[in-house]
Each structure stands twice: as structure tokens, then as C-alpha cells.
Amino acid sequence: MQINVALAGNPNSGKTTMYNALTGSAQYVGNWPGVTVEKKEGNYKKDKNVKIIDLPGIYSLSPYTLEEVVSRNYLLNEKPDVILNMVDASNIERNLYLTTQMLELGIPVVIALNMMDVVRKRGDKIDVEKLKKELGCEIVEVSALRQEGITALMDKVVDSARSKKNPEVAFRFCEDVESAIDKISKTSSVSSEKNKRWTAIKIFERDEKLLETFEFKGNDRTEIESIIEEVEKSHDDDSESIITNERYEVITKAINSAVEKVKVKVSMSDKIDSIVTNRVLALPIFV
């Protein structure tokens, strides 16, 4: 059975390094249909039944940039068997923002917690078990650059694809946002959708790409609009920003539980160094 693995993540998360480590030199390079965004696909060198599709680097699945639209269309329309989400562990807060969105697509997600060599060198600690519990998906620590952890990662990727288990989102937003999402999910326009939560959240955000083609039934559109406006009034914010804030709340909670950062200490010798450097730099002013 062929398995399609979508390699997705932020720019600079190490996607290309991972893609090269997985596929070696055998790769097909072209463009995504209709746009001049490079598309790469190749087979995993240890198992030719596993195809890796390299998606454009993105920070979000919102519909604003060409890269976001290409990645999002691929994930929604082509339905890969599993998403291999590259996360730069040394920049974990920012990287997990995209992860929270990908976990809502109804596709198994395996996180490659990359750049662990950098995290370890800094002396920071990430409790992977706790992070797995907060997010509700498989996580494997790797270093794409040093080619560490890659076999263990790919074992999990293949397992997740074969199990076909539809992932359950492990985190929830605040009560009134959840209640609005729930009400939207239960309208006849959304209730028959395959991926109700994703669709309801996108409608809540008034996502223009989804609204372009989505067909509302009866007066669902008006009713849903009043559900959204009520939450916007109580949060004093627009619905898209409300969801962004909620995602960061989820990430903050996960990080507080799973990540231990070394406090940056400024030693006396660093201070003296800096004073000396400043004096030396300042010298020409006095001569």
C-alpha cells in the first residue's frame, strides 16, 4: 500500500534538510498546479511505498499567501495519509501555531521535534510525554541536520498512516468560543460535513476562501452571523483574532506544562567584557 506523507511546517523549520535526509537524491521537482511555487516529491529511501510531498513553508493555514493556499488545498483536497509536521523545537511557541491548525484537519499528525541538538545545547528541556498529552498527537525528537531520530520518526509516521485513526483534538478553546463552534457544527449546513470542527472554526473566523464556495442552507448564514457577533461583542475583538488568541492560550498552556527553559544568566565576567568592549568602541570619540 502506498502512503502519502505531507511534509509541512514553518519556513526554516528544517523541511528541506529532512526531505533530503528522507529521499536522498531521488526526487521529482516541479511546480504546484497553476502557480510558480516549487513542488517536490520523492520516495523514502528505506521504503519505496512511502511518498514524501514537500509542502511550501507556512506559518498558518489562513488563506492570505500563495504558499498557505497551496498547502491548505493540498491537505484538504488530496487528503494525504499523514502529516509530518516539522517543528523547530528551539522556536517552539511560534511553530506550534501552525500545528494547532493542522490538528483540526482530521488527518493524523506526527510532529518531528527538530533542532533538538540546539535545544539540548542551550540546556532547555522538553517533556515529550507531557507535550503529546497536551496536543494529542505523536511526537518524535529529531535532528534533521545530524540525521538523528529519523528512523524512529518514520516508524511512527508509517504506523499513524496505517492505523487510519482519525485524530481527536486534545485541546479546547474557552467556553463561549467552544459553545459557538458547537452551535455552528450542529447547523444543517455544517452537520453533514466530514470535518465539522475545522469547517465550523473556519466559518467562525469568516475565512474568505471557505466562504467563497461554502453553501449555507435555509437562514443558517444569518443565524451563524449572530452567534459570531455575540462572541465578538463579549471579547471586544473580531472573530479571527479571537481564534488566534485562543490558539496562543493553548500553546502557552502546553509550553508551561512541557518546556523548561534555562534562565538567561548574565555573569559578572560578561558584564566586565561588555564594559571593556564599550570603552574600546567609544575610544575614537575621545581622541
Q: Which residues of this protein are in contact with Mg ion, per CB under 5 A?
A: 15-16
Q: Which of 140, 88, 83 is closest to 114 using CA atoms?
A: 88
Residue 75 binds to ligand GDP (criterion: CB under 6 A): no
Binding segment (CB under 6 A) for ligand GDP, from list 15-23, 197-205, 217-225, 253-261: 15-23
Q: How far, in Å, are 37, 103, 224, 234, 239 from residue 186 at the CA level?
A: 37, 20, 11, 22, 19
Q: Rounded distance, CA 164 to CA 107, Å?
A: 8
Q: Which of 87, 26, 13 is closest to 52 using CA atoms?
A: 26
Residue 123 binds to ligand GDP (criterion: CB under 6 A): no
**Residues 95-114 close enough to bind ligand GDP by CB under 6 A:** 114
Residue 144 binds to ligand GDP (criterion: CB under 6 A): yes
Q: Which of 51, 56, 49 is closest to 72 using CA atoms?
A: 56
Contact pattern for ligand GDP over residues 166 through 205, marking x by CB under 6 A: ----------------------------------------
Selected binder of ligand GDP within 8, 14, 196, 243 (CB under 6 A): 14
**Residues 40-69 close enough to bind ligand GDP by CB under 6 A:** 57
Cβ distance to ligand GDP smaller for residue 10 or 189: 10
Nearest approach in angstroms of CB 55 to Mg ion is 10
> Are 151 and 202 in contact, with CB atoms under 8 Å apart?
no
Residue 115 binds to ligand GDP (criterion: CB under 6 A): yes
Q: How far, in Å, are 47, 227, 228 from residue 234 at the CA level?
A: 53, 11, 10
Maximum CA extent, the chain: 82
Q: Please list the alpha-helical segments (H only) found in the chain.
A: 15-23, 66-73, 92-102, 116-122, 128-135, 150-163, 175-186, 188-191, 196-204, 208-213, 220-235, 239-258, 268-286
Q: Which does 11 bind (CB under 5 to 8 A by kind): ligand GDP, Mg ion, none?
A: ligand GDP
Q: Which does 218 bind (CB under 5 to 8 A by kind): ligand GDP, Mg ion, none?
A: none
Cβ distance to ligand GDP smaller for residue 76 or 118: 118
Q: How many CB atoms lie within 10 A of CB 21?
A: 20
Cβ distance to ligand GDP smaller for residue 40 or 197: 40
Q: Rounded distance, CA 247 to CA 251, Å?
A: 6
Q: Rounded distance, CA 214 to CA 202, Å?
A: 11
Cβ distance to ligand GDP smaller for residue 13 or 85: 13
Nearest approach in angstroms of CB 15 to ligand GDP is 3
- For residues 51-70, one letter each, b for 16 or more C-beta atoms within 10 angstroms of the residue's C-beta and e for the rest, the string is bbbbbbbbbbbbbeeebbbb
Selected binder of ligand GDP within 37, 66, 76, 118 (CB under 6 A): 118
Residue 13 binds to ligand GDP (criterion: CB under 6 A): yes
Amino acid letter, 203:
I
Cβ distance to ligand GDP smaller for residue 14 or 108: 14
Selected binder of ligand GDP within 62, 95, 100, 143 (CB under 6 A): 143
Site residues (vs ligand GDP, CB under 6 A) = 9, 11-17, 57, 114-115, 117-118, 143-145
